[in-house]
Structures are given as C-alpha cells and as structure tokens.
C-alpha cells in the first residue's frame, strides 16, 4: 500500500464488506477491513453447523487467507466502539483510531426479541459461529439429559424442541431436527426413543416461508409435517423461560427453545447520526450513501432501502453482495469526481430446504419443490461457498449424510454447570 492514497475503511467482513473489498482490488486506494472475527462466514449454512451436519471451518474461511493476494488491503481484527461521521474517524476497542476518506458500514444484524430481550437467555438465536456451536451443544445435550431423566414429565420436556419463527432458518432447523431424532439417533439410546421427540415450529403469521408464494409455503408445511414436525401457525409466543414457553394461553414445558423470529440492525448504525427505521437500520440514499455524508456508505442487513416496487430490499446474501459491488463502484466514482449509481436489486429467487430430498425453489416465473428443488438448493449453496476445500468437504459430508443419515460433527464440547 502507498502512503497518501485515499483511505477506505470497511467495517464487516460479511458478504457486503468482502464484495466491496474485492471490487476495490484495482483501485488506487488503501483499504482497512475491520471485523470482530478473523473469518468470513457463509451464513446460509449456519444451521448445518448447529445441527451437527458440518463443522465450523466448513462454512468459514480466514479473511487474511481470502485476501492474501490483494495487496491494497489490511485486515484488522477489532471491535468498533465509536464512529465520528463529521471527523471521519472510527475508534476501536484496542484504544486506537482510524481516519478515513470513505467508509462502508456493513456490520450486519443481530437477534430481535421484540422488546423481550430477557428471552435471549432461554431462546438463543443463530447469527454467528459461536451461536451455532452453542446451539449444537444445547440440542445434543437435550437427548443426553432425557436419557438420564427418571421423571416422565422431565424427560418429555427435554425431548420437546420448539423453534420460534417460520422463515427459512426456522424451517431448515425444524426439518433437520426431526430427521436427527427419527433417523440419525436411531438405536443409540437405551432409556428413550429419540423418534418420540416433539419438534414444533411456531409462526405467529398465517403461513411459513411468508416471503415465498402461497403455494410453495403450503408445500413446505406439508413436507415439514411429513417429517413429523408440528407446525403451529397464527399464535405468537407470549413467554419464554427456563421451563418452557407460553403459546396463547397454554404453557408448554420445553427445555430447548430456539429463536428464529426476527433480526435487529447492528447498533453501529445509530452511531452515524442518520435516520433509522424501526428495526434500527440506516435509511440510506439511493446510492447507499448516508444522508449528509456522501463519503459514508451502508450495505447489507444494516440498510433500509425500498425497491421500485415499494418492497424493501430483503436481508439476503445476494442483496448484500450486490450492495458491496455497488459501493465499490460508487467509492471509485466519488474519488474520481464521477457520478454514483443508484442501487437496483436483482432478485434471482428464493431457496429453502426442509429436509432430506425436500426443498422449495422460487425463481419468479419458475417454481418447484421436492427432490429436484433439493438438488438445486444443494448445488447453489456449494457453488457460492468460498474456497475449493470448503466446497469439497461440504459435498463429502452431505454425500455421507445422504447415504447413512449420520451427521459428522456430533461431538459435545465444553462444560456446563451440571458437569462442573
């Protein structure tokens, strides 16, 4: 990197941040990529780590390794503690500060409990690798606790798994959990029958996969029920504690509740002093810049932007990648005195897998489900993984799981209060 070149700071090594860095590879700038972790995460497969189908390194790659050949970028593993938009400076948790000429904030989203943040202790969400590893441990331990329980009511509570939220993450978790209980763990326990585990998917709205057409939502529901998932629609959860959850007026004993019902924007967005929507996302200009700060951009899940059809841009990986590429173009344009472009989301469709040989695909005019949809989902997810090694390992793991019903990462790590 050459001193004196414009300094571009990018916060977040997710899809938006990484694609922006790559888009600036040949630009006469020096880039600092700041992220709390040292890796880029392929979030669409995070549930596979949580359900022991894949290991953490299978869906993640070190940022330094990904960017090793791009000489104009420096990676900093740090947490941003402050942003001064007027002074063009960010502060880091190690006490240092970075001045910038252009800034991209792409720090993503976190869990949203709709004013019930105290539920988080008993209903973990799924956004990071740490979340996935913690959840995997929680799910696998539930069967162990049930095996050791002597009281029938306690055993039933350990074998009740509730997933709150009927979007893609909730649907994929519910379907996979049902398969684990009915196939993967078959004949492995002596005091319980894992197939008797109850997996319930709870959605406050009228249907699962609300972003999909109604016919595909109905097919997804039928496929879930075929796997043995109890799908509860139209009633919100009113309470979650260590003993279970309240659905409507009924309290249901359950030791494992998973939250997949909503997301909130990263708190870093509020540091910009820009207008926010109700979810805390930054209301950006059409070119993804912040009002009043043309050299500061926001991309990914932190962005509140409406499309030409009056629908919000969805918080999905393709949208984040497209935003990252556009921000790279617009930073180049700003620095050269050119004109920036407005963001126009290209919707290539939606995919969701329900379980073994079952998925739904919406490509606009083309919709299909079942076995063909499952193969399409598999190919697309392997294709978009970063790194040949990750693609190969994921393919091998899925091939083995398909033929054997076994899941390769069923090791319980760590200790809890009961085992100390």
Quick: pLDDT tens for 56-66. 999 999 999 99
214 catalytically annotated: no
Do 50 and 172 contact (CB within 8 A), yes or no?
Answer: no
pLDDT at 184 exceeding the cut of 50: yes
The answer for residues whose C-beta is within 8 angstroms of residue 200's C-beta and 6 or more apart is 160, 161, 162, 163, 174, 229, 230, 231, 232
The tens digit of pLDDT for each residue in 243-259 reads: 999 999 999 999 999 99
Residue 197 has pLDDT above 70, yes or no: yes
Distance of alpha carbon 167 from alpha carbon 141, whole angstroms: 25
The mean pLDDT value for 386-402 works out to 84
Alpha-carbon gap, residue 190 to 174, rounded angstroms: 24
Supply the mean pLDDT for the chain.
94
In tens, the pLDDT along 105-126 reads 999 999 899 999 999 999 999 9
pLDDT of residue 336: 92
Spell out the residues 6+ positions from residue 345 whose beta carbon is closer than 8 angstroms to its own: 307, 313, 314, 319, 322
Across 343-372, average pLDDT: 93
Q: Is the pLDDT of residue 321 over 60?
A: yes
Say how many CA atoms lie within 13 Å of 137 toward its Cβ. Answer: 12
What pLDDT is stored for residue 388 in this prediction?
76
- pLDDT, mean of residues 356-382: 93
pLDDT (0 to 100) of residue 416: 62
What whole-number percentage of the chain has pLDDT above 70?
98
pLDDT of residue 266: 92
Q: Domain 117-261+349-404 is of which CATH architecture?
A: 3-Layer(bba) Sandwich (3.50)
Distance CA 127, CA 330 (A): 29
Ranges of CATH 3.50.50.60 domains, the chain? 7-36+78-111+263-336
Q: What is the pTM of this model?
A: 0.92
**Ranges 29-38, 301-310, 391-400, most confident:** 29-38
- Look at 69-83, 375-389, 403-417 and tell me which has the smallest mean pLDDT: 403-417
Tell me which of 172, 203, 214, 239 is the catalytic residue: 172
Return the percentage of the chain with pLDDT > 90, whole number: 84
List all residues 6 or more positions away from 403 whose beta carbon is below 8 Å from its beta carbon.
none
Enumerate the CATH 3.50.50.100 domain ranges in the chain, comma separated.
117-261+349-404
Structure token digits, residue 55: 């290991």
Minimum mean pLDDT among 179-188, 198-207, 410-419: which range?
A: 410-419
pLDDT-derived band at 420, boundaries 50, 70, 90 = very low
pLDDT, greater one: 291 or 403 = 291
Check residue 419 and give its pLDDT. 39
According to DSSP, the β-strands at 289-290 and 73-77 are unpaired
Domain 7-36+78-111+263-336 class? Answer: alpha beta
How does residue 3 score in pLDDT terms, banded at 50, 70 and 90?
low
Q: What's the confidence (pLDDT) of residue 308?
A: 79
Q: Which residues contact 95 (CB under 8 A, 6 or more apart)?
A: none
pLDDT of the residue at 357: 86
């Amino acid at each position: 990197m050459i001193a004196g070149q414009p300094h571009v700071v990018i916060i977040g090594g997710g899809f938006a941040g990484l694609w922006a860095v790559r888009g600036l590879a040949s630009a006469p700038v020096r880039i600092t990529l700041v992220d709390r972790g040292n890796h880029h995460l392929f979030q669409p497969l995070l549930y596979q780590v949580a359900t022991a189908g894949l290991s953490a390194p299978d869906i993640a790659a070190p940022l330094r390794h990904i960017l090793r050949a791009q000489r104009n970028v420096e990676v900093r593993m740090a947490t941003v503690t402050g942003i001064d938009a007027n002074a063009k400076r960010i502060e880091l948790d190690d006490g240092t500060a970075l001045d910038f000429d252009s800034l991209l904030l792409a720090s993503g989203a976190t869990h949203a409990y709709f004013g019930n943040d105290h539920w988080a202790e008993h209903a973990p969400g799924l956004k990071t690798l740490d979340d996935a590893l913690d959840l995997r441990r929680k799910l696998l331990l539930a069967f162990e606790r049930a095996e050791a329980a002597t009281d029938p009511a306690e055993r039933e509570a350990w074998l009740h798994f509730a997933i709150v939220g009927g979007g893609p993450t909730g649907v994929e978790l519910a379907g996979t959990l049902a398969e684990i209980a009915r196939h993967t763990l078959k004949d492995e326990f002596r005091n319980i029958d894992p197939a008797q585990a109850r997996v319930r998917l709870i959605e406050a709205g009228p249907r699962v996969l609300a972003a999909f057409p109604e016919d595909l939502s109905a097919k997804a529901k039928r496929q879930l029920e075929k796997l043995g998932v109890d799908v509860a629609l139209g009633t919100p959860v009113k309470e979650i504690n260590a003993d279970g959850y309240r659905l409507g007026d009924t309290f249901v004993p359950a030791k494992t509740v998973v939250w997949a019902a909503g997301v909130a924007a990263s708190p870093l967005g509020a540091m910009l002093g820009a207008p926010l929507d109700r979810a805390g996302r930054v209301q950006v200009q059409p070119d993804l810049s912040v009002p009043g700060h043309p050299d500061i951009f926001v991309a990914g899940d932190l962005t509140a932007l409406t499309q030409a059809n009056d629908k919000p841009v969805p918080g999905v990986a393709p949208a984040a990648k497209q935003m990252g590429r556009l921000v790279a173009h617009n930073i180049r344009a700003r620095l050269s005195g050119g004109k920036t472009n407005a963001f126009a989301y290209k919707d290539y469709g939606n995919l969701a897998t329900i379980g073994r040989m079952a998925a739904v695909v919406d490509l606009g005019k083309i919709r299909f489900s079942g076995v063909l949809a499952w193969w399409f989902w598999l190919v697309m997810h392997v294709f978009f993984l970063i790194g040949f090694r990750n693609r190969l390992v994921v393919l091998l793991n899925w091939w083995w799981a398909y033929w054997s019903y076994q899941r390769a990462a069923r090791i319980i790590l760590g200790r809890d209060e009961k085992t100390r």
